């Protein structure tokens, strides 16, 4: 059985988001944190979602040795967001061994699922920062690659292309107040499974240890917009280690 990784990734991620959404809705009904529950959320747009320029409080810094995610970069994560480090190479190796031990198509699909989750274009997942504890539905993910000659724009284009079903990409250069420069992209992702299109954003920077991609998705465009302040906090506090 042949499985197209891009299509598998889209289906699996949408299914995961749906599962998270159910948990997030239940949390709100029980009086848990919501997008507007953070007193530092700043100005809000429609339906209480923070605008892209809204300020957000820092919940600490990750990236350095000893932090939740050890990366070639460091940055602040939003208050109540939870970071988890991912050893992609180990997980891919485990999935590969499991696929070899499985018979028939199940092993092929298992390996494809793991590859779709952990690898996208020239980079692999290194850190996942969950917005659910802050009352939002989505993740800020960090992807890392090996040192090479590819420039950041090329890396980012390959990353977006590997997601499949993307359109209306808009690339631009950026530079933080600390002098970190890179390339950023806004684009649309269309789920064939749900027949919905949503906004996503990502950036790429170069480090001595290889490229780093920071990606923000979300259950839908509304959730994406609500999480943009957390993405901007990470971007503006980004430092090369």
**pLDDT tens-place string over residues 8-18:** 344 444 444 43
111 lies in a domain? no
In a domain, 25, yes or no: yes
Q: Which CATH number does the domain housing residue 134 bear? A: 3.40.1000.10
**Quick check: 166 and 187 in contact, CB under 8 A?**
yes
Residues 130-142 have a mean pLDDT of 96
Backbone angles phi, psi at 55, to 5 degrees: -80, 150
Segment 92-117 shows an average pLDDT of: 58
CB 147 within 8 A of CB 210: yes
Neighbour tally for 22: CB within 10 Å:
10
Q: Is 42 within 8 Å of 222 (Cβ atoms)?
A: no
The 10s digit of each residue's pLDDT in 210-233 is 999 999 999 999 999 999 999 999
Burial of residue 49 (number of CB atoms within 10 Å: 0-12, 13-18, 19+): buried
- Domain that includes residue 151, residue range: 5-88+121-240
Percent of the chain past pLDDT 90, that is, above it, reads 58
Q: Could you tell me if residue 209 is inside a domain?
A: yes
Question: Is the pTM of the predicted complex or chain greater than 0.85?
Answer: no
H-assigned helices in 56-199 = 88-101, 105-118, 152-163
Q: What does the alpha-carbon distance between residue 145 and residue 159 come to, in Å, rounded to a whole number? A: 11
Residue 75 in contact with residue 129, Cβ under 8 Å? no
- pLDDT tens sequence across 151-168: 999 999 999 999 989 999
Q: How many other C-beta atoms are found inside a 10 Å radius of the C-beta of residue 165?
A: 14
Residue 99 falls inside a structural domain: no
Domain count, the chain: 1
């Amino acid at each position: 059985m042949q499985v197209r990784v891009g299509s598998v990734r889209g289906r699996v991620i949408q299914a995961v988001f749906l599962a998270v959404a159910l948990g997030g809705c239940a949390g709100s009904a029980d009086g848990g944190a919501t997008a507007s529950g953070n007193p530092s959320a700043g100005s809000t747009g429609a339906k209480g979602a923070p605008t892209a320029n809204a300020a957000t409080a820092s919940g600490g810094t990750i990236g350095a040795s000893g932090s939740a995610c050890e990366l070639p970069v460091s940055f602040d994560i939003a208050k109540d967001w939870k970071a988890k480090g991912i050893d992609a190479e180990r997980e891919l190796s485990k999935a590969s061994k499991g696929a070899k031990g499985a018979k028939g198509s199940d092993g092929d699909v298992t390996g494809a699922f793991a590859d779709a989750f952990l690898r996208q274009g020239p980079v692999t997942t290194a850190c996942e920062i969950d917005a659910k504890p802050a009352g939002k539905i989505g993740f800020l993910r960090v992807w890392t690659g090996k040192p090479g000659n590819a420039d950041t724009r090329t890396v980012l284009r390959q990353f977006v292309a590997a997601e499949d079903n993307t359109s209306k990409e808009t690339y631009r250069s950026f530079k933080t107040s600390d002098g970190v420069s890179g390339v950023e992209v806004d684009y649309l992702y269309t789920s064939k499974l749900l027949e919905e299109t949503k906004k996503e954003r990502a950036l790429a920077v170069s480090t001595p240890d290889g490229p780093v991609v920071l990606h923000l998705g979300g259950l839908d465009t509304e959730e994406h917009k609500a999480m943009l302040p957390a993405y901007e906090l990470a971007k503006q506090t980004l430092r090369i280690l």
